[in-house]
Chains A and B, each alone.
Chain A
Amino acid sequence: MDRDIGKPLFDIFLLVASGIGFYYATTLPSITSAGGITPAFFPKLLSGLIFVCAVPCFIRDSLEWLSQRRERDYEAQNVRSDGPKSAVAQWLFIMALIIGYAIIFERLGYLVSTSLFCFLSVLGMVMLSGEFSGMSAVNKLKSGLGYLAFSIILSSSIFFVFTALFNIPLPN
């Protein structure tokens, strides 16, 4: 069994989200059609079902998490790993970068935003995963320039393929 506090937390999120969904469903106008079905019928039913199914999931996931506390404490005291930390950092970094890319995609135009995104994402992953450690300054610079070239070439070639070959307009 997986010991992840994220599991019960995600179940709580589902419980809260289904509650909010149910609340908003009650605010929908009640125009009744045949069989007493209103536009709110399915949203209410589904948010109710999500809530009902999420309760046992929450109980089970919480019990699983709590039941392995001893093992977890032992590991916390005896096992030291940098892996998960860098993994979370990598995940958060990519997530933030993708959101940033979405924000600048239309504002800065496709070419600039995509080149920036590609360069920063590759560079960020390299730095966070520790690939740069142990490299000389010259090699770091060389790699950085390589990533920049990759980003510009990739963005430009995709731009050409989509706009010229597939006639799909991209933001300028």
Chain B
Amino acid sequence: MLAGYIEGLSMVFQLGTLLAIAGGTLLGIIMGVLPGLTSAMAIALLLPVTFGMPPVMGIGMLLGALCGAGVSGSIPAILLNIPGTPSSVATTFDGYPMAQRGEAGRALGLAIVASFSGGVASMVILSLLAPPIAEFALRFGAAEYFSLSIFGLVIIASVAGKSLLKGLIAGFIGFFASTIGTDPIAGVDRFTFGQLSLLTGINILPALIGLFAISQILKNAFEYDPAEKLTAGKHKIDLARPRFVETFRNWRALLAGIGSGSVVGPVPGAGGSIASLVAYDQARRFSKNPEKFGSGHSAGIVSVESANNALLGGALIPTLALGIPGEAATAVLLGGLMIQGITPGPMLFADQSGTIYGIFLAYLVANFAMLLIMCLGIKVFVKVLMVPRKQLLAAIVVFCFIGVYAVDGDVFNIYLMLAFGVLGYFLNRYGFGTAPVILGLILGPIAESNLRRGLQTFQGDWTPFFTRPLSATFLLIALLLLAVTLWQNYRAYKKDLEEIKSA
């Protein structure tokens, strides 16, 4: 491990890598400030820029973007009562009332330090937990990988869509899309329709940008309202002073945030909004002054913001150790890893320990970059809120086009991106979600190749998939989860029907 860290250190502490991490963080902050633009979109747009970079530099840049977007959503939440990202919804509870009292700078200072602390703590948890999990996963064979893929798909489908069936449909669509191209075992072309660009399968980058960026642009175009002009209002902030002492004085809330983020993070599909709400609830429960929550209490901001960033470290555990992403943004990051030629999973820890520890350190550096950039640039970021939305949409479309064209100079990828964009727009609009699609696209080939490889090894016998302990456990949990979610969906549906009848 130590050798891995030393190798990782040499990869991270290079001027180019540090600048890339800082650049990614800056872009993430800008994207997080703007309501409607997501962290997944930020890293999807950054992916093409990372093509020519060494893995640690490229992934460091993407982690910087995630880290930056994680904290900057608090700016509109505190100043305008509008969460920049879904995970900063709970920041509005205490951040906005504090800003209303004329203490916007204090609220932002608390949010920045809490987020930084959450990020650093989650990096420690990540570096302690991911290696043993990966080592354990080295025992996995084809049957376990197949079951794990199914488990990952089921778990994200059960929480990403508005109903289990819709989440599953989205996952199956992604899985189906992954079968396009040359069959890995028999060498038969599937659904290529003579299109040479499809022979190697669906390129992950156009799919990612389409699902997470173009679909969002179409949504914003639909919702565009010229009357909606965001301004920082009466708040005048030149510099956000980091509030270390006050943040650590709220140590109970900080621990509640770090704990909630780290626990919720690895749960596929749970996401930042759940982590922050759980953290807020826990902090209130353990507080000596629970009645102060909701009225501009510092502990409220500390708990939520520490959870937001601690979530990322937690979500990275299954992403890196098992190749199963924790939520949408880490699903895009997983795509980024694959583009970099890195296959997440236990073998990554065994074969490229320098790279993996370099990624851990890059995440740590990203947190420091976030702290510095947020404190120094807060005045500028508040102004970003006022960027006219129509110009921004046009610029993002241009970045999407360039990013996808840069893959291999093939216009077909642009059409592919548009197709996924339109699909993603409707999937989101009608409650299917897009995260399961990308997970299906990533996990599909793992499931298919391992099922077929496993059947070859077991000489056509299916039973080992259900009798090997680990494989059976994954399948059983997936089945139980399906049953529980179906039951919950059924109860919610019945309740809806009763409400309609009574109305």
B399: nearest residue on chain A (CB-CB)? A158
Kindly provide the distance from the CB of A35 to the nearest chain B CB, expressed in whole angstroms.
3
Question: Which residues from 1 to 40 on chain A have a C-beta closer than 8 Å to any C-beta of chain B?
Answer: 1-2, 4, 6-7, 10, 14, 21, 24, 28-29, 31, 33-40
Closest CB in chain B relative to A39 CB, distance in Å? 4
Taking CB as reference atom, which chain A residue is nearest B186?
Answer: A31
Whether B188 contacts A39 by the Cβ 8 Å rule is yes
Please determine whether A154 and B172 come into contact, CB atoms closer than 8 angstroms. Answer: no
In the assembled complex, A122 has its CB within 8 A of some CB on chain B: yes
Instruction: Say if the beta carbon of A112 comes within 8 Å of chain B.
Output: no
A129 touching B226, Cβ below 8 Å:
yes
CB neighbours (8 Å) of B173 from chain A are 50
CB of A67 to closest CB in B, whole Å = 5
Q: Report A-chain residues with C-beta under 8 Å of the C-beta of B393.
A: 94, 121, 125
Bound CA span A114–B414, Å: 14
In the bound complex, do residue A90 and residue B221 qualify as a contact, i.e. CB atoms below 8 Å apart? yes
Q: Would you give the 0/1 interface string for B203-229, flagging 1 where the beta carbon is closer than 8 Å to chain A? A: 000000000001001100111111000
Consensus secondary structure, chain A interface: helix
> From B175, which residue of chain A is reached at the shortest CB distance?
A46
User: How many B residues have CB within 8 A of the partner chain?
Assistant: 66
Contact in complex: B169, A14 (CB < 8 Å): yes
The answer to whether residues A101 and B401 also contact, given A34-B452, A57-B169, A166-B49 and a CB cut-off of 8 A, is: yes
Contact A122 B500 (CB under 8 A): no
Contact partners of A139 in chain B: CB under 8 A: none
Please name all residues of chain A whose beta carbon is closer than 8 Å to the beta carbon of B414 when the two chains form the complex: 102, 105
> Nearest Cβ in chain B — how far from A133, in angstroms?
10
Which of B85-93, B277-285, B351-359, B405-413 is found at the contact surface with chain A?
Answer: B405-413
Instruction: Choose among B394, B430, B462 the residue that contacts A35 (Cβ–Cβ < 8 A).
Output: B462
Tell me whether A10 and B226 are in contact (CB under 8 A): no
- The secondary-structure label for the interface of chain B is helix
Give Cα A126–Cα B390 distance, bound, in whole angstroms: 8
> Across the interface, do A131 and B455 meet the contact criterion of CB distance under 8 Å?
no
Would you call B394 and A117 a contact (CB within 8 A)?
Answer: yes
Assembly CA distance A106 to B401 (angstroms)? 11
A36 in contact with B460 (CB, 8 Å): yes
B456 within 8 A of A: yes
Interchain CA distance A57-B165 in the complex, whole Å: 7
Bound Cα distance A94, B430 (Å): 20
Distance in Å: Cβ of B486 to nearest Cβ of chain A: 10
| B405 close to A87 (CB less than 8 A) | no
Q: Which of B366-421 contact A (CB under 8 A)?
A: 390-391, 393-395, 397-399, 401-402, 405-406, 409, 411, 414-415, 418, 421
Residue B245, interface by CB 8 Å? no
Chain B residues lying within 8 Å of A68, measured Cβ to Cβ, are 500
* Residue numbers in B under 8 Å from A50 (CB-CB): 169, 172-173, 176
Q: A37-B455, A49-B168, A171-B405 are in contact. Are A21 and B176 (CB under 8 A)?
A: yes
CA distance A158 to B395 in the complex (A): 9
Is A168 at the interface (CB under 8 A from chain B)?
A: yes
Distance in Å: Cβ of B310 to nearest Cβ of chain A: 33
A131 CA to B228 CA in the complex, in Å?
A: 11
B485 within 8 A of A: no
- Specify the chain A residue showing the minimal Cβ separation from B221: A94
Residues from chain A with a CB closer than 8 A to the CB of B223 are 87
Q: Given A33-B456, A46-B175, are A54 and B169 neighbors across the interface (CB < 8 Å)? A: yes
Contacts of B169 in A (CB 8 A): 14, 50, 53-54, 57
- Contact in complex: A169, B172 (CB < 8 Å): no
Q: Which of B163, B176, B409, B452 has the most CB of A within 10 A?
A: B176
- B459 on the interface (CB 8 Å rule)? yes
B13, CB-defined interface residue at 8 Å: no
Answer whether residue B429 sits at the interface, using C-beta atoms and an 8 A cutoff. Answer: yes
Asked whether B172 lies within 8 Å of A53 as measured between CB atoms, the reply is yes
Instruction: Please tell me if the beta carbons of A131 and B226 are within 8 angstroms of each other in the complex.
Output: yes
B165 A56 Cβ-Cβ under 8 A: yes
Whether A167 touches B52, Cβ cut-off 8 Å, given contacts A105-B405, A129-B226, is yes
- Cβ-neighbour of B401 out of A28, A46, A88, A102 (below 8 A): A102
Q: B293 in the interface, Cβ–Cβ < 8 Å?
A: no
Whether, in the assembled complex, A42 has its beta carbon less than 8 Å from a beta carbon of chain B, the answer is yes
A158 contacts which chain B residues (CB < 8 A)? Answer: 395, 398-399, 402
Contact of A126 among B176, B226, B461 (CB under 8 A): B226
- Residues of A with C-beta under 8 A to B390: 121-122, 125-126
Expressed in whole angstroms, the Cα–Cα distance for A167 and B49 within the complex equals 10
Give the contacting residue for B452; candidates A37, A87, A105, A129; CB below 8 A. A37
Query: B411 near A106 (CB under 8 angstroms)?
Result: yes
Contact A168 B456 (CB under 8 A): no
Determine whether B144 belongs to the interface, using a CB cutoff of 8 Å to chain A: no
Name B224's contact: one of A14, A43, A60, A90 (CB within 8 Å).
A90
Q: Which of A1, A91, A155, A169 contacts B221 (CB 8 A)?
A: A91
Contact A47 B176 (CB under 8 A): yes
> Does any Cβ of A come within 8 Å of B246's Cβ?
no
- For B188, B402, B461, the residue with the greatest tally of chain A CB atoms inside 10 Å of its CB is B402
Interface residues of B (CB under 8 A from A): 48-49, 51-52, 163, 165-166, 168-169, 172-173, 175-176, 179, 183, 185-186, 188, 190-191, 214, 217-218, 221-226, 390-391, 393-395, 397-399, 401-402, 405-406, 409, 411, 414-415, 418, 421-422, 426, 429-431, 444, 448, 451-452, 455-456, 458-462, 493, 496, 500
Name 30 A/B residue pairs within 8 A (Cβ), A-sorted.
A4-B430, A6-B430, A7-B430, A24-B191, A28-B190, A29-B186, A31-B188, A33-B456, A34-B455, A34-B456, A35-B460, A39-B188, A43-B176, A46-B176, A49-B172, A57-B169, A87-B224, A90-B222, A102-B401, A102-B411, A105-B414, A121-B393, A121-B397, A125-B221, A125-B224, A131-B226, A154-B394, A154-B398, A168-B402, A170-B405
A-B pairs, top 8 by smallest CB distance, nearest first, are A35-B455, A94-B221, A39-B183, A34-B456, A131-B226, A46-B176, A31-B186, A125-B390
